[in-house]
Amino acid sequence: MSRTSTPTLIFRRILAALPSIVGVIIITFVLTRALPGDPAAYFAGPAASQEAIEQIRETLGLNRSLLAQFFIYIGELFRGDLGMSLTTGQSVLSDLLARLPASLELTLAGLFFSLVLALPLGVLAATRPGSWIDHSVRLIATAGVSLPTFFTGLLLIYLFYFRLGVAPAPLGRLSLLYTNPPAVTGLFLIDSLLAADFGTFWAALSQLMLPAITLGLFALAPLARVTRAAMLGVLSSDFIRTAKASGLSRRTILFGYAFRNALLPIVTTLGVVFSFLLGANVLVEKVFAWPGIGSYAVSALVASDYAAVQGFVLTMALLYVVLNLLIDLLYAVIDPRAGVES
């Protein structure tokens, strides 16, 4: 048995991810071509003549065989060219790069909110199974997951913006009174702090609050339940009994011994929830007029904007690979056994 070094681990993971990326490229290509609707007709507009449509079809290369189109697409991919969006008229790459940070910031904030709630709630529920705390945690989690996000979002807007007036208007990432902070990471909270612009920070935070809570409430249920189940499992294991028999303090047992062991399933679920939220937060983005990639992808899909859809799916696949890599690395940090070759 030997522990694998971290660079080897990273390299091996990336290598293992290559086939899935190739698969994603092929499938998205085929699927976007199979979509109903004619991009050329859509692009030419309702009043265009048949000739104009044919002409556009030719400029877009849509009159060639599927295989030829595919190789052109691959060639462009290698040059970092994701094509032009038919709806925005911009390159898909710049569209995605402009919108991805907004989605990331929203998802990360939602996840943060949900973790801050779910971990303590799950631990509390596990240490007192069957108590009123356990039951209320289950109730909160079930409510969070059964309310659709657009409903929670609208409810929060109604309460905090319309009735109480404590939240700003749900109109994107920053109210019109502020200018975007100089882009470093693309995340407004971090960029404004880097620029020491606290006014913008607060403005961005208050815009982010409601959509993040909306998303977070949805992620609360799986995280709290996994935390509870993992803690319950670990707390009844042999080594916890040893720790008790050694007279270790309750806090050492709970956090030093049990929680660290319970982290493994929690981190796994965290990865699943994260990638799920990243793609599925489109409803929240629509409700809060959030300029993220979810809403971009939906409008592209409706418009048969194949290049944008392909770009979106590819981005998600790459994000997913990166995310899984991060989670594997996190495993290796938490569990010394994770890097062992079997």
19 part of the interface to other proteins, by CB under 8 A: no
**What is the identity of the amino acid at 35?**
L
Using DSSP's 3-state secondary structure scheme, residue 174 falls into: coil
Determine the interface stretch with other proteins among 4-12, 88-96, 182-190, 254-262 (rule: CB under 8 A): 254-262
Short-list 274, 271, 244, CA closest to 331:
271
239 part of the interface to other proteins, by CB under 8 A: yes
Short-list 235, 16, 192, 225, CA closest to 101:
192
> What gap in Å lies between CA 337 and CA 341, rounded to an integer?
9
Write the CB contacts of 306 (distance below 8 Å, at least 6 apart in sequence): 32, 33, 35, 39
Task: Please answer whether residues 313 and 179 qualify as being in contact, where contact means their C-beta atoms are separated by less than 8 angstroms.
Answer: no
248 part of the interface to other proteins, by CB under 8 A: yes
133 part of the interface to other proteins, by CB under 8 A: no
337 part of the interface to other proteins, by CB under 8 A: yes
Task: Please answer whether residues 263 and 250 qualify as being in contact, where contact means their C-beta atoms are separated by less than 8 angstroms.
Answer: no
Question: Which of 132, 196, 247, 342 forms a contact with other proteins (CB under 8 A)?
Answer: 247
Q: Which is nearer to other proteins, 108 or 258 (CB)?
A: 258
Under DSSP, the state recorded for 339 is G
Determine the interface stretch with other proteins among 47-55, 232-240, 274-282, 315-323 (rule: CB under 8 A): 232-240
Sign of CA dihedral 15, 186, 83, 42: positive
336 part of the interface to other proteins, by CB under 8 A: yes
Q: Which is nearer to other proteins, 48 or 248 (CB)?
A: 248
Determine the interface stretch with other proteins among 12-20, 63-71, 315-323, 331-339 (rule: CB under 8 A): 331-339
131 part of the interface to other proteins, by CB under 8 A: no
Which residues form the interface with other proteins (CB under 8 A)?
1, 237-239, 241-249, 252, 256-257, 260-261, 334-337, 340
